[in-house]
Structure formats: C-alpha cells, structure tokens
C-alpha cells in the first residue's frame, strides 16, 4: 500500500501527468514537489510553499504557490510567474487545486494559520490568461474537482463539513449560487482533496479519519478505503490504466505520541480499487 515512504508534513495535490505517465504530489509546508518513478524518487524544493498543479505540456507544470501561479519546467528547473496575487500576502498560501474540463485551473488560498484565520481564504480560477476570484471569504478551500461533462464544479470549505456543487457556463465560469452536494455536518467530518472517476463518482479524502470515501453522484457514500495515516489529505487516480488510487497524508499537528502510534503518517499510498480515473485535462495558457 505504501507508494512512497517519504513522510510529508502536509501531503497534497496528488495528480497523474498523462503525457509523462508520472505521479506528482506536494509537501506544502516543506515547499516541495515530489515524484517517484521506476528510476527512483525525485523532489524539487521551491523558495515558497507550493500545493497543487496541472500540466501545460509534457515538460511544464502550472503550479499553485504562495504568490499565485507559476510555470515550472521539469527538465530545466526554470520557474516563470504566470499570475501574481496580492490578496492576503504575505499571510496566505495556496492549498488544493485542479485543472477543469475547459482547460482552466482552479486553486484555493488560505491563511497560514489555517482555521485560526477564518474568512481569509478564497478560490481562484485561471483561464486563458484571465484570473478571477470566484469564491471569496472561505477558510480552508478544498475538494476541487469537476463533473465529467464539465458542467459542474465541486469544492469545500473544510471547516463547514460540506462539499458544494456549482453549475458552470460553457467556458467553465461559475453560474448561480453553489448548492450542498454532501453534508457531513452531523458526523463533524472534514472534507479534503477529491477527484472524479470515469463513472462520475467522487473520491474524497477525509482529514482526521484515515480514509477516502467514494461518493456517488446522488451523494451516497458507496465505498470506504482505509489508510494507515490519520490525516488522509488528497486522492487521485494514476498508473498506466488510471486504475490505481493514490492518497497523500500528513503529519501536521500530530503529537509525538500520535506519530509513534501512527508511523506511516505523512506517507503516500497506492490502492487498487474497482474504479478508474480520467486523464487530467491540459491547462490552456
């Protein structure tokens, strides 16, 4: 089950690059992008926190970072600012993010003190050179993923215990008010990173619960995947047939006693499930 044994302080943003056939993920608090291939583990360290990515070409990633978005060349290491955000700086950082079906890129920003910075976060969208703040006033934006037909987006503000759904126009911009898709308030569960599989099922990590759940389009939880780490943080499909579910986790906030009891915390896991994903769309620059 362990795909990569390197413990992340805060693992996030796991995604499969369809042109490179390569998995990437982040350790946000250590400012690292990580990967692991048959040739061995790789990592890149940045001068600011990084958290999520989409692919623009075989060599270039669009990466969400503290200052906004950057274009990063995996071969040369060249970093180029794509868009810069002044909102909240320097007290905010990026968090969850994912490319949409129209070729845009959504990402969240949040206060560096997490839940102690209520309302400081937001969700942003980059689309063909244009950037908009689409959902302001959030605290911990997460669960960004998209329906297969590109007509709906999902997201959460983790501390509200709810995953939302919002309609999109043909260019991928939100239309109307978001509606509740999954309400976890009664159980006080915390939605984290998510992805949509080839049948439209959402695979949602739940922070603090050592698991990822499969959520059907009718909002019913149909499957639970346990991992040996309390803070499961993000899920994404990968592998040659997109049939492996990769799950990041975190050690953030855990006491020495909790870490001793959960030695796999922070590692990245791989699970074969009865489902497959869809290729991540290219971000159109």
Domain annotation covers residue 69: yes
pLDDT, tens digit, 9 for 90 and up, residues 145-162: 999 999 999 999 999 999
Question: What pLDDT sits at residue 87?
Answer: 77
Domain annotation covers residue 281: no
Domain annotation covers residue 36: yes
Q: What is the mean pLDDT of residues 157-184?
A: 98
Cα separation, 252 vs 115, in Å, equals 13
Question: What pLDDT sits at residue 88?
Answer: 76
Q: Is the pLDDT of residue 263 over 90?
A: yes
Summarize the chain as % helix, strand, coil (round to 5): 5, 55, 40
Q: Is the pLDDT of residue 89 over 90?
A: no
Residue-range definition of the domain harbouring residue 99: 2-272
pLDDT, tens digit, 9 for 90 and up, residues 198-213: 999 999 999 999 999 9
Q: What is the mean pLDDT of residues 41-70?
A: 98
Q: How confident is the model at residue 125 (pLDDT cuts 50, 70, 90)?
A: very high
Q: What is the mean pLDDT of residues 18-26?
A: 98
Q: How many domains does the chain have?
A: 1
Domain annotation covers residue 280: no
88 within 8 A of 109, measured Cβ to Cβ = yes
Domain annotation covers residue 65: yes
Domain annotation covers residue 130: yes
pLDDT, tens digit, 9 for 90 and up, residues 214-237: 999 999 999 999 999 999 999 999
Question: What pLDDT sits at residue 86?
Answer: 83
Q: How confident is the model at residue 61 (pLDDT cuts 50, 70, 90)?
A: very high
Kindly report the CATH number assigned to the domain that includes residue 126: 2.120.10.30
Instruction: List the one residue out of 207, 155, 200, 211 whose CA is nearest residue 182.
Output: 155
End-to-end CA distance of the chain: 36
What mean pLDDT is reported for the chain?
Answer: 97
Domain annotation covers residue 277: no
């Amino acid at each position: 089950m362990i795909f990569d044994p390197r413990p992340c302080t805060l693992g996030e943003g796991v995604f499969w690059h369809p042109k490179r056939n390569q998995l990437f993920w982040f350790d946000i608090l250590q400012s690292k992008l990580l990967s692991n291939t048959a040739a061995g583990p790789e990592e890149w360290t940045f001068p600011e926190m990084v958290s999520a990515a989409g692919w623009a070409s075989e060599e270039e990633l669009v990466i969400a970072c503290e200052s906004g978005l950057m274009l990063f060349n995996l071969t040369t290491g060249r970093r180029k600012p794509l868009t810069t955000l002044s909102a909240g700086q320097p007290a905010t950082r990026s968090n969850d993010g994912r490319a949409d079906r129209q070729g845009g890129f959504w990402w969240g920003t949040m206060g560096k003190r997490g839940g102690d910075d209520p309302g400081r976060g937001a969700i942003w969208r980059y689309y063909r050179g244009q950037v908009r703040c689409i959902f302001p006033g959030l605290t911990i934006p997460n669960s960004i993923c998209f329906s297969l037909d590109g007509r709906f987006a999902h997201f959460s503000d983790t501390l509200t215990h709810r995953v939302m759904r919002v309609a999109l126009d043909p260019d991928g911009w939100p239309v109307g008010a978001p509606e509740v898709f999954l309400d976890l308030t009664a159980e006080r569960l915390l939605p984290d990173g998510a992805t949509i599989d080839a049948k439209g099922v959402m695979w949602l990590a739940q922070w603090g619960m050592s698991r990822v759940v499969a959520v059907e389009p009718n909002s019913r939880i149909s499957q639970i995947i346990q991992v040996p780490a309390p803070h499961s943080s993000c899920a994404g499909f990968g592998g040659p047939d997109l049939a492996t579910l990769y799950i990041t986790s975190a050690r953030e906030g855990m006491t020495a006693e909790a870490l001793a009891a959960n030695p796999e915390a922070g590692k990245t896991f791989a699970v074969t499930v009865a489902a497959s994903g869809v290729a991540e769309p290219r971000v159109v620059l």
